[in-house]
Amino acid sequence: MSATQPQLNGAAHAPVAPSNDTLLRLYREMLRLRTLDERMMTLQRQGRVGFYGACTGQEAATLASAIALEPQDWIFPALREAGAMLMRGFPLVPYLCQVFGNEGDETKGRQMPSHMASKSVNQVSWGSCIGTQLPQAVGAAMAARIKGDKTVIAAYMGDGATSEGDFHVAMNFAGVFKPPVVFICQNNHWAISVPSSKQTASESIAIKAVAYGMPGVKVDGNDAVAVYGAVKAAVDRARRGEGPSLVECETYRIGAHSSSDDPTRYRDEREVDAWKKRDPIEHLKRVITEQKLWTEAQDADLRAKLLDEVNAAIAEAEKKNDPARETLFDDVYAVMPWNLREQKAEMLAAPPVPRPDAKTIAG
């Protein structure tokens, strides 16, 4: 299973090459996500949001795989695939409102931060419980097969999820019944503080596909062209009715697992420095520059525009109010029972608690 010659269906299968327009769009989206993550981590340190999970260093594995999907396809994400929503057309302001948990959030501020989801772009919320999305993704793929439509389901996971029973259940069921699902593993070498060497004794994660009767391929997850090629081939295969595949994208989590984590306590910074030299954004920039699709002047202009776009969206999202208190009782029962009606009335009779400002939160 070579990074340059994916093995699908037991034979060499040429990866699908992205168009120039796809490469340029992908570069912009990767750079926007990096800009957004840097700003949001700063806001978290300032106490303006409570939690954030960045994708830094994994933008190619996330976005080059997602761009290989069609709009009707569904994404069942893990922690670092939220940015795919933006690439698929979800507006930046409500995306940020989910992190702030305010009235601009489609999920009404009820979900944990960095758990973005929207039916408008066919992306469900990840569940924090590692690996639970995998059997759910297979179920959605079975529904697509039964309905006879051409929808493909992308089931994302980290390397740590392959140690969960849900991984076995999902892979085994998919291998037997062959629904249109593509398993995409972002092997970033660290499941919070547990290295991938302690997750498996296999030579790769991709090779696990063999035991479940499906093709597997391992690619350089920091090479956007390689990721796109392998995932697009697997997606096309699934859409033709040829069953599931597993694509392992070997990448690296440059930053902390989340804003709550201190990676200096468990990993060597020399390892981080080595992977920084393989930055997926810089790699794609070299590709489009060498192909005469991009210039340094265009790059400087894009970076400035993206920073303005992100800052403007943050300013708009941050000024929105908290969700109305009474929405706490919505979406639970079709007809509200008497005990909840009483609780709602009691809550509305009490004065609202003032919202603390960022200075108060930060102490």
What positions carry a catalytic annotation?
253, 257, 266
The neighbour count for residue 60, using CB atoms within 10 Å, is: 28
Collapsing DSSP to helix, strand or coil, 250 comes out as: strand
Q: Which stretches of 70-229 are assigned E, i.e. beta strand?
A: 74-76, 153-158, 181-187, 190-191, 194-195, 216-220
Distance CA 146, CA 169 (A): 20
Contact (Cβ atoms closer than 8 angstroms) between residue 33 and residue 86: yes
Q: Which of 164, 150, 238 is nearest to 200 (CA)?
A: 164
What three-state secondary structure class fits 328? Answer: helix
Q: Which distant-in-sequence residues (6+ apart) come within 8 Å of 262 by Cβ?
A: 256
Using a 10 angstrom Cβ sphere, with 0-12 exposed, 13-18 middle and 19 or more buried, the burial of residue 136 is middle
